[in-house]
Amino acid sequence: MDEVARLKTEMLAMSRQADMIVQVGAAQRQVQMILASAPDDTAGKIAAQRVFCSLIDQLIDLETPAAGPQLRRTIEMAVNEYGMLGDWLALAGDLTAAEAAFDRCIGVAEASDADLKIRARINVASHLLARGSFAQALALLLAARDLEATAGWPAAVQVDPVIAVEAKLSEAYRWLGDAARARAEREKALARLADRQAKADPIQRLLLEGKDFELRLEGMIVATEAGGAALAEAEAGLDALTPTFQALGIAPAAAFYRAKIELARGRASAALALLDAAAPGFQESEILRNKTGMLKTLRAQVLTSLGRGAEAVIDAKEAVAREVLADNRETVWKAHWRLAQAAIAAGDPRTALAAYDAAIEAVDGVRRVSLGYRLDNLFLRERKPMFDEAIDLAVRHGDARRCAWYVDAVKSRFLAPALAAGPPWPPAAAWVDRLDRLGEVIDRNAADDPVAVRAQADRAAMIERRRIDLSAAEALAPTPLDVEATLADLRTRGQAALSLYRLGDRIVATLLFDTAEVEAITLDAATQEAIRRYAGNLSQPSADQSTVDFDPARLRLSAEALVPPRLLARAVAADTLLIAPHAELNLIPWAMLKFRDGRLCQAVPVGVAPNLAAIAPLAARPIAAAKLALIGAPDETGTPEDEQLRHTLPEIEALAALYAAHGGLLAPSSVGAEATLARFRDLLDDPAAKDGVLHVSGHGVFARDDPAGSGLKLHRRRLTAAEIATRPLAFAEVTLSACSTALRPTAVGDVALLGDDVVGLPASFLEAGAGALLVSITEAEDAASAAFQCDYHQRRIAGAPPLAALAATQDAMLADARFRPHEWAGFCLYSTR
């Protein structure tokens, strides 16, 4: 009887499964009919596709894991169809439903093999890239790469998933401006393709040829965007691809790319002729029609370069309309930019400013979150000329609010959101352990040792990946500048904020104090040379630096030469002044600039802000109580730094005595062999640290090509920026008595830091939770540093807030004949209080 019942159950299940297969087939035909008869019926397509996907889900529920290949085919169908549903929903503007469809695309693949898991991630990443959601796309692609290590590919796979991931990563890095990584991924994929094509059957070879075309097209686009000598490579690549363009029926696309090359060579008339010849083909081709906005954008640029501004405006407006309609988020910013340029050429600044607004909003829309300093700055490289033009126009029209927003928008996306979000999310223990092991390898070996170099690269990749994963989860939401809210916040403290932006031979100064004002000052030749010399000195290796030139007054650098006089007079009338510098201006200790008959700090307490958007979240952090923990003066016997580190012990002893006398010493000082990385971690975990002050005294290490590796020397290990940024910091204030802890490079390796958030130690301590951070841009002489720190902390214990304590200390040090300004001039304070 049990056997009969079992057979009946199996037959019933098979009958249901067969019936469901019929229903799935009918639903698939319904979708195909709509696509064939009414391709523009978006609502009909979506409704039919939803039914189709729902039936596939039911079929998966009826099939058991024992079904083997059949179940895999059904899951593969679900991956493909949910991906398509997500695309259609997104195009229809229903982003919530689209996200749910893409989540299901990835979720259903989890029940299958690595190939389908990777394919699902590539499907969703492709959609996200098209929408400019780079963090989410990169997170998925990198997760797909992680899966490759465990993949056992089915024999039926037609296109190697490894190649697909490499190809999509090449596209992602190209959009983000990282040409080097785009090329590396592309070349790996092309090499694999060549091997696969040699072994493929005719059908597989056809599929692989399509992938080969996509990759070579990517390479040609990158070479075109690079310009200069790379244009010859771009033209050769286009020549090789043109027959394929023709075979695919999209020959006008080849003319479009050739026009870009002609324009890059300065042959605008030739470019215009090519675009006009290509335009009808774009309209006639289903594939190219939604790319017409790109063609119109380029045509507007060409017309502007030919002095035909009024015509360019017409094309640029059409370009904007088409790009918005096609939801081309990654390219619409350029259409707005070309409209702004055309409007300027046509003598219409009002339209130009509105177009710059839209362009910057579009860039912010796709640069929602940080991807780490490298990708943030490379992404900005193509777009910065647009920002510069917008800032220039805003200042010429006296539009301070716009100028403040434009300047802040240039800055990196990381630090302001991190400050607003609060202390960092602690990473997994395994991640911390791996970071620690890499740190041990780096500390054990010489900086140029291949083992250390590899470890540094691995550490940089880990940190970037963590940034991407956090950003993909939107753990760090963007914080655009709210000028009115910032003004209101500043008024509560009687504070002024001065945002500075280097624009060629001018500095654009935007002052927020009661209201917003903007002016520019043109730097004379002597001042430009002084800035170059000051920054250049700090860019030299430590042994080659001229220490006497650490005092900006020695080079006759004055506040009056760098800030428009009217705004400067207004700024020093505030109770305190925050300065948000730009580019090499970050290397100047602003408080110590000459001003009138003294220094700027003698007219007003001066603090530093990373950018204007960071002011409010910094101000919301608590002010530290008079309780102190100390670590430093490590025992480094047998190392070149040993003698220098020993000289920091008297400073620690003096500060310990100072706080002990007021009952504010949290624990015995951790010095010598006890000044370890483990002890630093213990201090952070101590509940008594909450809202206290942490003082670290020792040798600062500034790693120019490895910001995460910049740090402070402890016993046998380096306390790095990478370590600091990953652990919540209960201390409200941090004071660092070490050289070059605030030094901000203008470039890291081959990446110019065009964005303007701080990097290295200052960024890490602020990200970890510090509300006030005292650091030094320059090297500091030991005795002067100790005197400076003791005076500052004495004033803090007496109740002076950080900015007032700093100004009083600077004034006292200037009056102290024992010390010369260049011995301590580099100290600066990140604080709003």
pLDDT over 60 (residue 780) = yes
Q: Average of pLDDT values for 187-205? A: 86
- Mean pLDDT for 524-533 is 96
The pLDDT of residue 475:
54
- Share of residues in the chain with pLDDT > 70 (%): 91
Distance CA 409, CA 411 (A): 5
pLDDT value, residue 205 = 81
Residue pair 186/210 in contact by the 8 Å Cβ criterion: no
Task: Determine the average pLDDT of the residues in 337-355.
Answer: 98
Which pLDDT belongs to residue 182? Answer: 95
**3-class SS of residue 20:** helix
Q: Which of 64-68, 205-209, 247-251 has the highest mean pLDDT?
A: 247-251
Q: Which of 541, 524, 523, 545 is nearest to 533 (CA)?
A: 545
Is 735 within the bounds of a domain?
Answer: yes
**815 has a pLDDT exceeding 80:** yes
Asked, for residue 556, whether it belongs to a domain, the answer is no
At 105, which CATH number?
1.25.40.10
- With cut-offs at 50, 70 and 90, classify the pLDDT of residue 155: very low
The dihedral region occupied by 438, where left means phi > 0, alpha psi between -120 and 50, and beta the remainder, is alpha
Residue 434 in domain: no
How much is the average pLDDT of 761-767?
Answer: 92
As a whole number of angstroms, the distance between CA 291 and CA 274 comes to 16
What pLDDT sits at residue 706? 82
**CB-CB neighbours of 433 under 10 Å:** 11
Q: Is residue 107 part of a domain?
A: yes
Average pLDDT for 508-537: 97
Question: In whole angstroms, how far apart are CA 217 and each of 220, 221, 223, 304, 484?
Answer: 5, 6, 10, 27, 46
Mean pLDDT across the stretch 348-354? 98
Last residue of a domain, one of 122, 157, 192: 157
pTM for the predicted model, two decimal places: 0.91
Residue 240 falls inside a structural domain: no
381-395, 406-420, 631-645, 668-682: range with lowest mean pLDDT: 631-645
Does the structure show a pLDDT above 80 at 674? yes
Residues 6 or more apart from 246 whose CB is under 8 A from it? 254
Q: Is 602 a member of any domain? A: no
Domain membership flag for residue 482: no
Report phi then psi at 821, rounded to 5: -55, -35
| Domain boundary, last residue among 130, 157, 184 | 157
Q: Which residue has the higher pLDDT, 224 or 75?
A: 224
Mean pLDDT of 263-271: 98
Q: Over 594-615, what HEC string results?
A: EECCEEHHHCCCEEECCCHHHH
Predicted pLDDT of residue 327: 80
pLDDT range class, residue 641, cuts 50, 70, 90 = low
Q: Can you give the pLDDT at residue 726?
A: 84
The count of other CB atoms within 10 Å of the CB of residue 38 is: 11
Decide if 779 is inside a domain. Answer: yes
State the average pLDDT over residues 416-445.
86
Domain CATH for 684: 3.40.50
Can you give the pLDDT at residue 324? 92
Total structural domains within the chain = 2
Rg (CA), the chain: 30
Q: Which of 742, 737, 816, 743 is nearest to 781 (CA)?
A: 737
Cα separation of 540 and 533, whole Å?
11
pLDDT tens digits for range 578-628 = 999 999 999 999 999 999 999 999 999 999 999 999 999 999 999 999 999
For 8-58, write each residue's pLDDT tens digit: 455 555 555 565 666 666 667 766 776 667 666 888 889 988 998 888 888
pLDDT at 789 over 70: yes
Contact residues for 263 (Cβ-Cβ < 8 A; gap 6+): 271, 298, 301, 302, 305
pLDDT class of 382 with cuts at 50, 70, 90: very high
Boundary of a domain, candidates 157, 189, 220: 157
| Sign of the Cα pseudo-torsion (280, 285, 288, 291, in order) | positive
Question: How far is residue 699's CA from residue 779's CA, in Å, rounded to a whole number?
Answer: 10
676 or 208: whose pLDDT is higher? 676
Domain that holds residue 47: 17-157
**What three-state secondary structure class fits 123?**
helix
